[in-house]
Amino acid sequence: MSGLSDLVITGIGMRCSLGQDSPGSCAAIRAGISRFSIWPPKSEPDEDAIIGAAVEPDCGDSDWTEKFEDLSAQPLLESLWSAGYADLVDQNSHHLKWALFLSIPPFDREGVDEENVAEFNEKASDDLLFPIEIPDLRPFSNGHAGCLLGIGEAVEALNSGELDMCIVGGADSYLETEYVYSLREQKRIKTGQTTAGFIPGEAAGFVVIEKESHARKRNAPVLARITPVYSSMESIAWDSTEPGRYRAMPMVLRELISNSPCDPQKINRVINDLNGERWRFLEWAMTNNPALSSLPPDWRLWCPADCIGDTGAATGAIHVNLAVQAILRGYAFGQAVLIANASESGERAAMLVYSET
């Protein structure tokens, strides 16, 4: 086993259909609460009705680029305030070397308006997307695994000394009528006619990461520690029936656990991005027995999509928020929470969020 990591989480923030902040949202997910409703709003329920998980206050029926600022502003500020970085909001920490690693959906998603994309890119280049100045914005689009891969890149930047602090986060919304209808046509979302599918949602989440030495120096709270992110690519497409699938995730999990600073018997909770789609269920069924056999026999699986729907590019950040809250509030029932996410584009990623004891 390797020693304790010097990489720590000092701040978290999230917004989803169940809450406006991280503590409230995670408490609702832990309690199994959901707030699903007919989509689009005011439509009449029928046997093929779409159920969605929209945030409150309502961001409306529009594509993710138009909703982005409303979704992301509050959880970004929450993560900074909880990390003790209020001075960043006041623009008084220009000496700090930091960057925002941002997981976003693809611009070519069906239903995304070209004018909205142009406005989004213009605001990004003019540093107007967020309520604070971002000195170094690093966007990427890797789906469910995106935020975990972003954490992996952030860890490298921190270990090399390139940056003093990193924020990793993501925002996404499936709730745009044209896109949701196209998903229904593909039979990918859950309706009265399609039982094996996901519930479209929207959310945003952010995590502040730095070296423990840097956090202690400024008397910041250490909420949890993190391992490096282990990742691989699944070579066979998610919708393929070709044999030989589902090899990447077991390899990633075995590598993570074999290099874990924690006794595997103290990893009692696993968070996964199962969302109701059959291919995800099959992959996880082929993965968990061989790869997680060293975990205690009573380990428990958490699937936040059961409560908040599929949150796309925000998924990893939401999962890390939930893991940190579980560690802090004692309902991890062990030393560590394992997070494992799979992207439609092939990326598979996993990491541990853990405490010292």
The 10s digit of each residue's pLDDT in 176-209 is 999 999 999 999 999 888 889 999 999 999 999 9
- DSSP helix/strand/coil, 206: strand
pLDDT band at 92 (very low <50, low <70, confident <90, very high): low
Q: Which residues contact 162 (CB under 8 A, 6 or more apart)?
A: 97
Percent of the chain whose pLDDT exceeds 90: 85
- Report residue 30 CA to chain centroid gap: 16
What is the rounded distance in angstroms from the CA atom of residue 223 to the CA atom of residue 83? 9
Asked whether the predicted pLDDT for residue 84 surpasses 70, the reply is yes
Residue 243 has what pLDDT?
A: 64
Strands 50-52 and 230-233, bridge-based pairing: unpaired
What is the rounded distance in angstroms from the CA atom of residue 332 to the CA atom of residue 137? 33
- Report residue 6 CA to chain centroid gap: 22
For 157, the token pair is 């930047």
- Whether 353 and 271 have beta carbons less than 8 Å apart is answered as no
Residue 160 has what pLDDT?
A: 96
Residue 1 has what pLDDT?
A: 39
Residue 289 has what pLDDT?
A: 82
pLDDT band at 73 (very low <50, low <70, confident <90, very high): very high
Asked whether the predicted pLDDT for residue 93 surpasses 70, the reply is no
Asked whether the predicted pLDDT for residue 47 surpasses 80, the reply is no
Of 46-55, 148-157, 161-170, the range with the lowest mean pLDDT is 46-55
Q: Which ranges constitute the DSSP H helices of the chain?
A: 22-30, 64-82, 86-89, 114-125, 146-159, 177-185, 212-217, 248-258, 278-291, 305-308, 315-329
Residue 45 has what pLDDT?
A: 77
What is the rounded distance in angstroms from the CA atom of residue 36 to the CA atom of residue 30? 16
> For the whole model, what pTM was predicted?
0.96
Asked whether the predicted pLDDT for residue 3 surpasses 60, the reply is no
- Whether 101 and 168 have beta carbons less than 8 Å apart is answered as yes
Q: Which residues contact 53 (CB under 8 A, 6 or more apart)?
A: 16, 17, 34, 35, 36, 37, 199, 200, 201, 202, 308, 309
* Length, in residues, of the chain: 357
- Whether 223 and 27 have beta carbons less than 8 Å apart is answered as no
Residue of 179, 173, 209, 200 lying closest to 69 (CA atoms): 173
pLDDT band at 48 (very low <50, low <70, confident <90, very high): confident
Residue 46 has what pLDDT?
A: 80
Residue 244 has what pLDDT?
A: 63
What is the rounded distance in angstroms from the CA atom of residue 347 to the CA atom of residue 149? 9
pLDDT band at 2 (very low <50, low <70, confident <90, very high): very low
